[in-house]
Structure 1
Amino acid sequence: MRLFNAILFSSKIIKNMPKKNTKQVQGKLETIQTGPITVDKSGSVVIKINAKPGAKNNNITDICSDGVGVQINAPPTDGEANAELIKYLSKVLGLRKSDLSLDRGSRSRNKILVVQTSLGIEGITEKINQEIKENH
């Protein structure tokens, strides 16, 4: 009988004990960003681009919810416009061309560009807005 009471008592104690929090918070908080410039899980900045190849000169036209509008002075053949896009945006952002890579949209006007930088969303948005002001 004592053994039965001991088992019953210990199971009541275990049930009443607070449970451990199994979720651990990692180094940085992930925030859900909406808009054309976001940060992915690896910490890279992701930019949605609406490319307009075949323009007279390279220019950032606007930033809207769909993406950053970029006019490219290269024809959309054989990847020339993509190479010119990366070259132009690396100049605008003050980064090396190797810091930018085309993730999706190599044959589309809607592109996803991944940027390896410590600038963050605010720094990139500031540089893009500065380029828009200089060209308009």
Structure 2
Amino acid sequence: MKFTVRKALGVAGAVTALTVALPSPAMASDSYHVMNTGDAFGGPVFDYSGEAYFTEHGDIVKICDTDADGYAVKMYVALDNADGAPLYSFTRGGEGNCATHQASEGGVYNLPENRYIGFQFCRYKDGHAGECENYRFYNDH
């Protein structure tokens, strides 16, 4: 098969069009945030007790216990800063178990738009939270 300049330009044009049409990773993740508890054990790969996700579209907050360590995970959700008075909190325990709250539930779960939302995500056992990590995201969707 003979490779010509015309074919090369056609391939280059197709690649350019595809690159422009696809969203960049930053665009795709502007309203999706990943959070972890404040602990990290293990060698080169961090092993957190929990992982959480905040999706601005629908105000979806999902927490998952990702470690069979005898601890649950607890998320505090507050206005403005993670260390403010929580709007709500929730807990989930047992490796692989997740819990979700979202705007469609109404009330405190419908987070205000165009405002910072603070998240404090912790390990939790016997009524005590520890090894927390604080996060803050601007909710503009």
| TM-score scaled by length of structure 1 | 0.28
Larger helix fraction of residues: 1
Larger strand fraction of residues: 2
Please say which structure displays the higher CA radius of gyration: 1
| TM-score scaled by length of structure 2 | 0.27
